[in-house]
């Protein structure tokens, strides 16, 4: 049996042990070929209630363990991911359609998330506060209790473990709902790692499921904090539901990130960065460069070179071939991408490359002569599509880049880095990269967007402390004071 053998979760969910779920089971499908890789249990709302109750019970003892014990579990989890990296990468590739390089990246980030979380357990538990009374005044951080995590299909390993690992390290229990299309790399593999790492039973529950399970997780009274990653539309519904239950929620949502190419940028490198930013993982990344804003003096050359890049990128099965792009996640996503491309061309854009698909394999696409009101520019495509809009001045570039309901990642490519930094100050965005493309991620860095892209940066050390602990005010006096009555 391999470390991540599908027999472990055949028709089951993880609730401290591999347990048959109440909602039946479904196939785990390789996106490129349709091959059935295994089966997973499908949770229902009743499973959420049972898991949350068990998690709340187990969490009290976990919170009382020493920080050394919790840190040791996280370190062992990181080491197990490293030791089984190739096998886990293959699950990521086959289950999500990622190319192997992206699979390796996801596994590497997951490893670092565990190690960073281990360090988080060592952080000071609070601070001494000033007081105008003769007493010791303290702020102490305590675990929130049970954390609910809802993760999406696109890069599920990273987007699950970046919440699971710090929440556990800080003394919480977790109920995790991965997307049904990616239950292994989104959750079941993580459960396998933590079980082997010595995490006590009952602290991590993995419940693959649909919208019913997500709603139950948000409304479950025992779950006090929800970490959601997904679309902005679904994020709004999660936030509304959580608000009715006075529940804290952290939202990492969609994006339509601008890649701004100034006229002094190195054209060849700018084109390469633009291609990577739009076509990596078939554009199925929240930080994907969804809008290419290019100075009019170099725009014709940029479009021609970007289209040439797109035409020469191989598309196919990433598990068996040397390809740059794999499949989209399913037919629904493919049809959405193609509808946006077709509507944009029908509205007057020029198709410079791509715009075609075979099965789930969508060719990298370049759209020129795009207006800001066209669908593939105005909306998040979540596919390998690069719409290009020209600008004539820096002020116009600022106006175009800022004219979006999203604010996740921003790229500015220029021969003058300080000029780029000054430009970025004028554009709302949670993440900014000067002379790099929009898709970047590190376990040590804060991550999050503004506006419709989410509720701000959370990840990274201090962000995770704020997300997964409560602040408790404690005072101590030597004697009870005398009061007037």
| Residues with catalytic function | 252, 286
Please give the Cα distance from 225 to 112 (Å, whole number). 23
Angle at 29 between CA 28 and CA 33, to 5 degrees: 165
- Taking every pair of Cα atoms in the chain, the longest distance, rounded to a whole number of angstroms, is 84
- The encoded tokens of residue 428 equal 């709302």
CA-based radius of gyration for the chain: 24
In this structure, what is the dihedral angle of CA atoms 431, 434, 439, 442, given to the nearest 10 degrees? -70
Angle at 148 between CA 102 and CA 75, to 5 degrees: 55
> What residues does 291 pair with on adjacent strands?
258
- Note whether 202 and 52 are within 8 A (CB): no
Helix (H/G/I), strand (E/B), else coil: 140 = strand
**99 torsion bin: left (phi>0), alpha (psi -120 to 50), beta (else):** beta
Please give the Cα distance from 133 to 352 (Å, whole number). 71
Please give the Cα distance from 207 to 414 (Å, whole number). 46
* C-alpha pair distances (Å), 346 with each of 79, 357, 431: 52, 18, 33
Q: Select from 236, 225, 246 the least CA-distant residue to 176.
A: 225
* Token pair 């005072």 in the structure block, residue: 475
In this structure, what is the dihedral angle of CA atoms 391, 252, 218, 335, given to the nearest 10 degrees? 50
Helix (H/G/I), strand (E/B), else coil: 380 = coil
Burial degree of 127 (CB within 10 A; 0-12, 13-18, 19+): exposed
φ, ψ for residue 165 (rounded to 5)? -65, -50
- For residue 344, the 8-state DSSP code is H
Helix (H/G/I), strand (E/B), else coil: 430 = coil
DSSP states of 37-65: EEEEE---HHHHHHHHHHHHHHHHHHHHS
- The encoded tokens of residue 453 equal 């892209």
Please give the Cα distance from 427 to 415 (Å, whole number). 19
């Amino acid at each position: 049996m391999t470390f991540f053998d599908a027999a472990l979760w055949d028709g089951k969910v993880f609730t401290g042990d591999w347990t048959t779920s109440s909602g039946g089971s479904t196939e785990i499908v390789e996106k490129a070929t349709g091959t059935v890789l295994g089966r997973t249990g499908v949770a229902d709302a009743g499973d959420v209630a049972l898991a949350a109750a068990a998690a709340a019970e187990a969490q009290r003892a976990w919170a009382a363990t020493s920080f050394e014990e919790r840190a040791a579990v996280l370190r062992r989890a990181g080491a197990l991911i490293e030791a089984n990296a190739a096998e886990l990468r293959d699950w990521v590739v086959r289950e999500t359609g990622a190319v192997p390089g992206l699979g390796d990246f996801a596994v590497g980030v997951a490893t670092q998330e565990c190690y960073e979380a281990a360090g988080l357990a060592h952080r000071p538990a609070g601070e001494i506060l000033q007081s105008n009374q003769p007493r010791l005044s303290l702020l102490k951080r305590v675990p929130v209790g049970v954390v609910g995590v809802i993760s999406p299909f696109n890069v599920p390993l990273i987007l699950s473990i970046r919440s699971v690992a710090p929440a556990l390290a800080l003394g919480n229990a977790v109920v995790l709902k991965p997307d049904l299309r990616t239950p292994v790399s989104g959750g079941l593999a993580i459960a396998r790692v933590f079980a082997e790492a010595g995490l006590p039973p009952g602290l991590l529950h993995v419940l693959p499921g649909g919208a019913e399970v997500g709603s139950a997780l948000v409304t479950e009274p025992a779950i006090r904090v929800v970490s959601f990653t997904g679309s902005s539309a679904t994020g709004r519904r999660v936030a509304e539901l959580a608000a009715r239950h006075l529940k804290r929620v952290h939202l990492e949502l969609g994006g339509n990130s601008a890649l701004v190419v100034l006229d002094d940028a190195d054209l060849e490198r700018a084109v390469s960065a633009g291609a990577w930013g739009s076509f990596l993982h078939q554009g199925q990344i929240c930080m994907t460069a969804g809008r290419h804003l290019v100075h009019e003096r170099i725009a014709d050359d940029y479009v021609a070179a970007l289209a040439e890049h797109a035409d020469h990128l191989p598309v196919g099965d990433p598990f068996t071939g040397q390809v740059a792009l794999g499949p989209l996640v399913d037919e629904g996503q493919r049809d959405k991408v193609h509808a946006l491309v077709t509507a944009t061309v029908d509205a007057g854009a020029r198709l410079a490359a791509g715009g075609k698909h075979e099965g789930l394999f969508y060719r990298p696409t370049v759209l020129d002569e795009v207006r800001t009101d066209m669908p593939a520019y105005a909306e998040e495509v979540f596919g390998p599509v690069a719409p290009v809009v020209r600008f004539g001045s820096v002020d116009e570039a600022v106006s175009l880049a800022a004219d979006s309901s999203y604010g996740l990642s921003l790229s500015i490519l220029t021969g003058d880095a300080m000029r780029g930094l000054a430009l970025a100050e004028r554009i709302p965005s949670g993440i900014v990269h000067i002379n790099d493309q929009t898709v970047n991620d590190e376990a040590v860095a804060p991550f999050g967007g503004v506006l419709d892209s989410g509720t701000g940066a959370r990840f990274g050390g201090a962000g995770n402390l704020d997300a997964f602990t409560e602040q408790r005010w404690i005072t101590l006096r030597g004697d009870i004071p005398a009061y007037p009555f």
